């Protein structure tokens, strides 16, 4: 629950940051204040807004207006939002071109949109993952898991009986005795492992603690050959030749939930690094055409904003069981969107836009890989 609350806080922070970047004035109904001067800068008022600083003359003082002001300031949906989002989805090149040509007031700024959609993406994906993991705590699912473990124990006992019968047969005939003894030992060991796993599962479901690290701790506490065997199986071994790195990786693998939480937070805080990582590649793709790096930055911000919204849509589709459709959209929509944005923004021909789309897909993959390596390293610290 704390993870969702923190994600919601990050989303609100991103919204406020986006609102600050947009620097929009929120219209207010009513008449100028009775004092006749602006409450912000002290200038004389002659209308609904101050001529010097732009603040509304009438100031609301209600909780409802705080929410209204936030939503209005972030995306300005009465004008900017409804102009920007359709173009971002279907005419991304035209949107980028218009913004670069100076139509700044009509559309959401790429940086504000990137901040908001990025944090929205992490917020929705986090909730979706929690929802997909929720069945593990469902009583029906837990009963099914317990029944499966009992079935595994029963199978192990049957295998043990079969191995015992084969050993008696080998002793009677005097052939294959060593193999039968080894099979019996393996069957005995498998039965102890299955019974121990069922015991741990019962304890975990009773106490609510079901992590691998806690299971490994139980094995070390109780002792016994089967428990030590299961602990060795449950706790992964890491050997990179660097003791410090091995210790960090081992700690992350023993506490996967904690590490994924740190990974998610690190990724959301350093998402902006995708821009400087991808800019040199974009510059090289258009080397000699006299295109400013600023133009590539606007292109990247709008493109990444759309990709964030696409991931949000795919995550929402996966919730009702439409995961296959979400995967298809995620695989096929980005290349088409990149092609359209390149074609219209840089005014390229179809062939030129096509080969650059292929290159841009490679650039996106490289940038994502570098970003992933960075956040993995930061999360292990």
- 160: in domain: yes
pLDDT of residue 331: 92
Nearest to 14 by CA among 278, 341, 308, 257: 308
pLDDT digits (tens, 9 = 90+) for 39-76: 777 788 777 778 777 777 666 555 555 555 655 555 45
Domain boundary among 241, 264, 288: 241
- 103: in domain: no
pLDDT of residue 297: 92
Domain holding 65, by residue range, is: 28-73
Q: Predicted confidence band at 111 (pLDDT cuts at 50, 70, 90)?
A: confident
- 107: in domain: no
Question: What mean pLDDT do residues 175-195 have?
Answer: 78
pTM for this entry: 0.60
pLDDT of residue 142: 63
- 200: in domain: yes
Domain boundary among 46, 73, 100: 73
**Which of 66-80, 97-111, 265-279, 325-339 shows the lowest mean pLDDT across its residues?**
66-80
- 212: in domain: yes
- 187: in domain: yes
- 286: in domain: no
Domain check: are 141 and 232 in the same one?
A: yes
DSSP string, 320-380: TT-HHHHHHHHHHHHHHHHHHHHHHHTT--HHHHHHHHHHHHHHHHHHHHHHHHHHHHHHH
pLDDT of residue 219: 40
- 223: in domain: yes
Domain boundary among 18, 44, 73: 73
Nearest to 47 by CA among 27, 19, 65: 27
Q: How many domains does the chain have?
A: 2
Token pair of 158 as six digits: 């049957």
Domain check: are 144 and 231 in the same one?
A: yes
Task: Provide the mean pLDDT of the chain.
Answer: 74
pLDDT digits (tens, 9 = 90+) for 356-365: 999 999 988 9
Question: What mean pLDDT do residues 18-25 have?
Answer: 50
Domain check: are 216 and 144 in the same one?
A: yes
């Amino acid at each position: 629950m704390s993870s969702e609350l923190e994600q919601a806080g990050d989303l609100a922070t991103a919204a406020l940051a986006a609102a600050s970047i947009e620097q929009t004035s929120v219209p207010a109904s009513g008449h100028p204040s009775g004092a006749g001067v602006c409450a912000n800068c002290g200038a004389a008022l002659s209308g609904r807004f101050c001529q010097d600083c732009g603040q509304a003359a009438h100031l609301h003082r209600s909780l409802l207006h705080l929410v209204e002001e936030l939503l209005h300031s972030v995306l300005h949906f009465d004008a900017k939002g409804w102009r920007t989002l359709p173009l971002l989805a279907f005419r991304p090149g035209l949107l980028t071109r218009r913004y670069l040509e100076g139509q700044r007031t009509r559309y959401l700024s790429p940086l504000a949109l990137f901040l908001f959609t990025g944090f929205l993406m992490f917020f929705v994906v986090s909730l979706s993952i929690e929802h997909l993991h929720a069945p593990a705590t469902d009583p029906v699912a837990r009963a099914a898991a317990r029944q499966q473990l009992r079935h595994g124990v029963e199978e192990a006992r049957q295998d043990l009986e079969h191995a015992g019968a084969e050993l008696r047969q080998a002793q009677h005939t005097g052939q294959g005795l060593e193999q039968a003894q080894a099979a019996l030992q393996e069957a005995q060991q498998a039965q102890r492992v299955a019974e121990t796993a069922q015991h741990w599962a019962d304890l975990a479901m009773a106490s609510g603690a079901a992590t691998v690290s806690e299971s490994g701790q139980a094995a070390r506490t109780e002792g016994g050959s089967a428990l030590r065997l299961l602990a060795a199986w449950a706790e992964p071994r890491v050997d990179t030749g660097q003791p410090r790195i091995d210790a960090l990786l081992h700690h992350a693998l023993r506490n996967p939930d904690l590490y994924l939480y740190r990974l998610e937070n690190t990724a959301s805080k350093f998402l902006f690094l995708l821009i400087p990582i991808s800019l040199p590649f974009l510059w090289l793709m258009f080397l000699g055409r006299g295109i400013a790096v600023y133009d590539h930055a606007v292109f990247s911000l709008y493109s990444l904003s759309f990709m964030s919204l696409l991931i949000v849509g795919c995550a929402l589709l996966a919730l009702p069981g439409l995961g296959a459709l979400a995967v298809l959209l995620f695989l096929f929509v980005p290349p088409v969107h990149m092609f359209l944005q390149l074609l219209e923004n840089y005014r390229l021909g179809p062939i030129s836009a096509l080969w650059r789309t292929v290159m841009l897909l490679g650039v996106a993959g490289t940038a994502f890989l570098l970003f992933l390596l960075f956040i993995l390293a930061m999360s292990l610290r």
